[in-house]
């Protein structure tokens, strides 16, 4: 999924058709902004199912 996430909110811009989770659940996964926003960088985060 490609998102725009910051301190003000989260917007899903696109996602793989293989993702079977709702947009609300996906937004919850990144609610705490796991990559941070320091120095105005554009982080990349990989979220995978736990096996």
Q: Quick one: what percent of the chain has pLDDT higher than 70?
A: 76
Whole-number pLDDT of residue 31: 79
- List the structure tokens of 14: 């696109």
- List the structure tokens of 29: 């996964």
DSSP-derived 3-state class of residue 21: coil
Domain positions in the chain:
2-40
pTM above 0.85, yes or no: no
């Amino acid at each position: 999924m490609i998102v725009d996430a910051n301190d003000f909110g989260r917007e899903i811009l696109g996602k793989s058709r293989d993702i079977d989770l709702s947009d609300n659940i996906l937004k919850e996964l990144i609610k705490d902004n796991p990559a941070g926003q320091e120095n105005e960088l554009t982080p990349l985060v990989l979220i995978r199912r736990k096996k």
